[in-house]
């Protein structure tokens, strides 16, 4: 592996959602953008370098771990969908409220800003940090695929209560501390955003809320730890989330 990340490399056909490889494409798209100068980015040369360079993307990476077919990229048939009964939705929301100290403490995020060029720079910086380590290593290319990574998310940013993990990957090699988890929940997009906004704020993270082609992006940082949450509503009413965290 070279020190400088090579250009995007497409090694196969696009994978059907949900796919962690597809999320890497999102991060790669972020890294291809060149936002206007941003104080956070200027103070972090590693993040700046990642934003202005391209991250190698190999869609076949998601198929390397065949020991658990439920976690291979594009394989959603073997992962049971989340329980979407009214009782299950109410139970999930109640559990989420308990984690933030009660429903009265659940706070919606700031109004979403459109994702366009430099307006997204803080989120892009967080995404870039999630793909590289403080030492400049390419953490995204060192991940292993296992459901166990969903249980190793930072305590402040867990999978939404009762969420159904579709795929998970991560690495703790060297200076890396990267987690990437895709999961689904029957609660609304607004419920998901409020939960992560509240949890992040309570834990001392900054929060920014963007809207990119119908997909909500919530992200921020605390010291060198960062997170990015991508939330979208599927046609069947289920909310699908990509949760990326980096740092400790």
| pLDDT in the model for residue 218 | 93
Contact by Cβ (8 Å): 31, 113: no
Position 124 scores a pLDDT of: 65
Highest mean pLDDT among 116-120, 159-163, 209-213, 214-218: 159-163
d(CA 197, CA 116): 22
- Residue 214: is it exposed, middle or buried by C-beta count within 10 angstroms (0-12/13-18/19+)? exposed
CA distance 136 to 65: 26
Residue 16 has pLDDT above 60, yes or no: no
Beta strands in the chain (DSSP E): 113-114, 144-145, 164-171, 178-185, 208-212, 215-222, 225-233, 239-246
Q: pLDDT tens across 115-143, in order?
A: 765 445 566 667 777 777 766 778 888 88
Share of the chain above pLDDT 90, in %: 48
Higher pLDDT, 196 or 112: 196
Q: What are phi and psi of 58, to 5 degrees?
A: -125, 100
pLDDT for residue 120: 52
Q: Report yes or no: 41 and 48 within 8 Å, Cβ to Cβ.
A: yes
The domain segmentation of the chain, as residue ranges, is 20-246
Position 6 pLDDT exceeds 60: no
First to last CA, the chain: 24
pTM: 0.72
Rounded distance between C-alpha atoms, residue 84 and residue 94, angstroms: 15
> Per mean pLDDT, which range of 52-56, 119-123, 222-226, 231-235 is the poorest?
52-56
Name the band, by pLDDT with cuts 50, 70 and 90, for residue 113.
confident
Query: In this structure, are strands 208-212 and 113-114 parallel, antiparallel, or unpaired?
Result: parallel
Would strands 215-222 and 113-114 be described as parallel, antiparallel, or unpaired? Answer: unpaired
Which residue would you say has higher pLDDT here, 99 or 16?
A: 99
Between residues 63 and 194, the one the model is more confident about: 194
pLDDT at residue 18, rounded to an integer = 41
């Amino acid at each position: 592996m070279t020190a400088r990340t090579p250009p995007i490399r497409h090694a196969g056909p696009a994978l059907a959602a949900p796919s962690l490889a597809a999320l890497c494409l999102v991060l790669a798209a972020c890294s291809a953008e060149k936002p206007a100068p941003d104080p956070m980015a200027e103070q972090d040369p590693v993040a700046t370098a990642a934003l202005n360079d391209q991250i190698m993307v190999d869609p076949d990476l998601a198929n390397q771990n065949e020991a658990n077919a439920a976690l291979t990229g594009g394989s959603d048939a073997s992962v049971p969908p989340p329980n979407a009964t009214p009782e299950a939705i109410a139970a999930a929301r109640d559990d989420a409220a308990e984690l933030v100290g009660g429903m009265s403490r659940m706070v919606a995020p700031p109004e979403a800003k459109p994702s366009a060029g430099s307006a997204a720079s803080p989120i892009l910086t967080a995404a870039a940090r999630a793909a590289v380590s403080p030492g400049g290593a390419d953490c995204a290319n060192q991940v292993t695929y296992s459901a166990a990574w969903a249980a190793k998310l930072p305590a402040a940013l867990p999978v939404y209560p009762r969420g159904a993990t579709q795929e998970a990957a991560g690495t703790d090699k060297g200076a890396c501390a990267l987690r990437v988890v895709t999961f689904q929940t029957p609660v609304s997009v607004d419920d998901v955003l409020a939960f992560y906004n509240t949890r992040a704020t309570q834990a001392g993270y900054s929060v920014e809320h963007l809207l990119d082609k119908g997909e909500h992006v919530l992200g921020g940082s605390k010291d060198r730890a960062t997170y990015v949450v991508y939330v979208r509503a599927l046609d069947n009413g289920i909310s699908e989330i990509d949760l990326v965290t980096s740092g400790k």
